[in-house]
Amino acid sequence: MKLDCEVVKDLYVLYKENELSAQVKAAVEEHLNQCEQCKKTYESESDFTDIIKQQVEEPPKKMDEKMFSRLKLLRLRIAIVLIVVISISIFGSSYYKSREYLRRDSLKYRNDICGIFGLLQTIKDEKAYINNEGMFNGNIDNIIDKSNEDYEIFKRSLNFIEKRNLRDYNKRSSFELSVKSLLFTLNSRSKNGTWSKDDEKAYSILYGELDNIQKNIRIEDNKLGNMFFTVKSSNIERSLNKINQLAFSYIRYNKFPEELKKLSKEDMKKRLEFLFNQKGEKFFFDERGDVECSFNMIIATGYEGYNGIIDKYTGKVIELYNGSWKNAGELISIEKVKGDMTAFLRRDFGGEVNFAIKDLGINHNITANDGAKFYCFQVQLMYKGYKIGKSFNVTCDARTGRIALDGTYDMVAGTNLDLKLENLDIKAKYSYEAALKNIGFLGVNMGEYKYNDMFFMKSRLTGKYELVYEYKAKDSYGNESYLYINAVTGKRDYQSFGYNQFSY
């Protein structure tokens, strides 16, 4: 067997490892004996086996590493895909469940709105099953309170996009207390035959917005079958805001929202300077809901200034605080303090009103152990000789003359005193004893109520000033309650004051 040089070189490793057949081995050795060059190559490259092995082994090692890296990457990708799939599955299941909760909460809230809507419809229906005023008012309380609770639950079930779209998500945007008063007022006027064109307009607006809420909830409910659908709760919120604005303006001011104009802070500054007859160096205002704006007025003369609450629509001061007072020094004469107080009240109410002022003495019902002295007065607003509204108390620092007015003052100052348009020249037809007997059962012991006063009061039933008797009762805890009866009709009446007050 004859072999050439190239073949012999290729067989080098097998020859060294003695892995050639006897015939091939003999042929290689025969060639080496004849070819001096191949012989030298075999002899000089004795370690050629290691080089060959390294060259043969390296590619598989690198290949293994590459294959291992690819395998690791493949496993990582599979793990990531599994994690994503599981996460999507968990999120999808959770989100689907939250959509189911939203559907349930939406249905509960819609039922609440239906209840309010049904209550509204009974107001003008003479054959309505709710003829008892106390029952109607109890229903107002229960239905409005439940709807407010269910609306909060409904909002919590919204997803983060839907929550972000709600402008007032973090505050109560369901029905405010004034909505109760509006329903109560409309029902009372309808049942007492004092229904007006403005009442009809207010009723129509309320009816329309409640209907809009029902329709919008129904539309959103029908789309909740698609779990990726975003609820347009802003439409519901818009109707709620309109209802609250209507109730607030109509109950507080007997006007519609578009008829009201809020004072700017510059206007309030000028108003306060006029009321206190002093130039203010600094003013600090802090919004307090729809009506109130608290103020702190620093007087340029270095006087400690005034602080209190001003009505943002009428500019009337409805509360004044006696936050600091002097506990030593001479007392100002009571005549001067009374004169300054009367001048302030006339500026706040307008120049055509007068005040009957009764001195109650120093520190009347006030405990002042630090030496502070206060002149205390009972003030009754008067117009052309008639008592207007409930009397209120005023205290004045006897050393500085500073005035303090508490929340009861708002019952008079908060009403719209359009007295020029009122007919106050009317006479009582019932005595206060006969009027109390005439109204019948109130669910309380009538003997608990004692006659307290008689005056013209802004009536919630008519929106006008009515001549009423006021009766007062005290419970075992000393809490006072008041009852008002119209001196002309002999029917129970209700005082129209603060938009955030609800009583029956």
The structural domains of the chain, with segments of one domain joined by +, span: 5-46, 82-225, 320-416, 432-493
> Tell me, what's the pLDDT at 126?
67
Least confidently predicted of 295-304, 321-330, 438-447: 438-447
| Alpha-carbon distances of 273 from 266, 348, 396, 402, rounded to whole Å | 11, 11, 19, 15
> Tell me, what's the pLDDT at 340?
92
- Three-state secondary-structure class, residue 443: coil
pLDDT digits (tens, 9 = 90+) for 42-56: 777 654 555 455 544
pLDDT band at 413 (very low <50, low <70, confident <90, very high): low
pLDDT band at 428 (very low <50, low <70, confident <90, very high): very high
Rounded Cα distance between 277 and 130, Å, is: 53
pLDDT band at 502 (very low <50, low <70, confident <90, very high): very low
Give the list of residues 6+ apart from residue 170 with CB closer than 8 angstroms, or none.
none
Average pLDDT score over the chain: 80
What does DSSP say about strands 465-474 and 492-493: parallel, antiparallel, or unpaired? unpaired
> Tell me, what's the pLDDT at 93?
65
Give the list of residues 6+ apart from residue 24 with CB closer than 8 angstroms, or none.
1, 11
Least confidently predicted of 336-340, 386-390, 458-462: 458-462
Percent of the chain with pLDDT over 90: 20
Residue 170 has pLDDT above 80, yes or no: no
Least confidently predicted of 19-28, 191-200, 216-225, 284-293: 216-225
CB 395 within 8 A of CB 437: no
Residue 235 has pLDDT above 70, yes or no: yes
> Tell me, what's the pLDDT at 504?
43
pLDDT digits (tens, 9 = 90+) for 46-83: 545 554 555 444 555 555 666 667 777 777 888 888 88
The residue with tokens 């009317």 is 426
Residue 417 has pLDDT above 80, yes or no: no
Residue 130 has pLDDT above 70, yes or no: no
> Tell me, what's the pLDDT at 168?
59
Residue 202 has pLDDT above 90, yes or no: yes
Residue 475 has pLDDT above 60, yes or no: yes
> Tell me, what's the pLDDT at 356?
93
